[in-house]
């Protein structure tokens, strides 16, 4: 059942990509789309590298967020002057291990999206030109134990679409209180 859902999710993403912008073989060869798989496929490392490359902004939506390397990279981006903002699922208020408190204590604006049964997005929008998405939760288990996928997509039009959706969720999100 889970494998079928993952397959459908990947297919849906690929269909949306093809419909939202012309994906040519040259785009793939130029590295505009990078694909990673876990366990042990370098998803966390790829995310950290993209955050480290951020010049102006990193916007995050996450269902589960316990990855120390990703949280540290976001705090470092914040410290070097990039605008970093995070929206998390309401479960992060009560989870025993979460990066929400760490991020908020470091001054990263952190919000909770409690309007939905679950806020299951797992995305980052970097500098309004790169999108990180996929089934990959920002957790150690996702990197080490789970079968998950991650796409890093360089495309301003797609980033604009994700940004519009991120802003809609930000409108109804509540500031995280630690």
Q: What's the CA gap between 31 and 91, in Å, rounded?
A: 35
Active site residues: 120, 122, 127
Q: CA 88 → CA 24, 27, 28, 72, 80, distances in Å?
A: 34, 32, 31, 16, 23
Spatial CB neighbours of 168, under 8 Å, sequence gap ≥ 6:
none
Going from the C-alpha of 118 to that of each of 1, 48, 67, the distances in angstroms are 20, 25, 19
How far, in Å, are 8, 23, 63, 164 from residue 39 at the CA level? 19, 27, 18, 31
Residue 113 phi/psi, 5-degree rounding, is -95, 100
* Token pair in block for residue 103: 């991020």
């Amino acid at each position: 059942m889970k494998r079928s859902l993952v397959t459908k999710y990947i297919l849906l993403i690929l269909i949306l990509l093809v419909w939202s912008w012309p994906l040519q073989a040259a785009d793939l060869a130029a590295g505009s789309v990078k694909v990673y798989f876990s366990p042990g496929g370098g998803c966390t490392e790829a995310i950290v590298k993209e955050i480290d490359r951020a010049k102006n902004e990193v916007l995050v939506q996450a269902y589960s967020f316990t990855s120390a390397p990703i949280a540290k990279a976001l705090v470092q981006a914040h410290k070097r002057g990039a605008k970093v903002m995070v929206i998390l699922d309401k479960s992060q208020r009560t989870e025993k291990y979460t990066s929400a408190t760490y991020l908020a204590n470091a001054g990263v604006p952190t919000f909770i999206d409690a309007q939905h049964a679950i806020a299951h997005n797992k995305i980052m929008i970097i500098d309004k030109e790169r999108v990180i998405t996929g089934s990959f939760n920002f957790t150690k288990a996702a990197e080490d134990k789970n079968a998950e996928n991650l796409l890093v997509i360089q495309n301003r039009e797609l980033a604009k679409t994700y940004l519009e959706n991120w802003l809609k969720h930000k409108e109804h999100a509540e500031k995280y209180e630690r």
